[in-house]
Amino acid sequence: MEQWPPADDAALGAELRAALWDAGAVPEQHLRAARAAFAWRTVDAELTIAELVFDSACAAGAAGATRSGGSTRTLSFRAGPVVLEIEVSDAGIVGQLSPAGGGRISARTANGVLDDAPIDAVGLFSLTVPPPGPVQLHARAAGYAVATDWVCLR
């Protein structure tokens, strides 16, 4: 039996070269996974996080005498010139993204995508009823991508 590790660097280098040479081709599934991971390296540069700037559940007088317990909740998010406004009710989420121009929006939970819908030419969209717990909205529109902070809508 040979000594391990080899006594000199040349012998170690030769043994490492032999091990790498015998490794064979990289499986296609590993190459696909590596390419997908590499593509994610710039995801933060492409995605702007929109900050919550208004929540009717926190507004003064939100529980006034004229409001019922089942009323809609209004939230507004902003990221520079991009504004995302939504209303959450027992029927679901409706909202508008500005600047408009079409696109797609998705509601995500910790378990993955809850719903995905088109954004029309004037920026309007509709999504399903959100579950209890944190939700994040992701929108891709004409020339930009934006995501909201995680927020509990119900």
Q: What is the pLDDT of residues 82-120, one digit of tens each?
A: 999 999 999 999 999 999 889 999 999 988 899 999 999
Q: Give 120-125 contacts, CB < 8 A, sequence gap 24+.
A: 122/96, 123/96, 123/97, 123/98, 123/99, 124/94, 124/95, 124/96, 125/94, 125/95, 125/96, 125/97
Q: Per residue in 47-58, pLDDT tens?
A: 789 999 999 998
Q: Which domains does the chain have, with CATH numbers?
A: 9-42 (no CATH), 45-60+70-152 (2.60.40)
pLDDT of residue 1: 53
| Residue 148 vs residues 14, 16, 35, 76, 86: alpha-carbon distances, Å | 54, 49, 27, 10, 11
Lowest mean pLDDT among 6-15, 31-40, 137-146: 31-40
- Tell me: pLDDT of 72 over 50: yes
State pTM to two decimals. Answer: 0.67
Among 17-21, 126-130, 145-149, the minimum mean pLDDT is found in 17-21
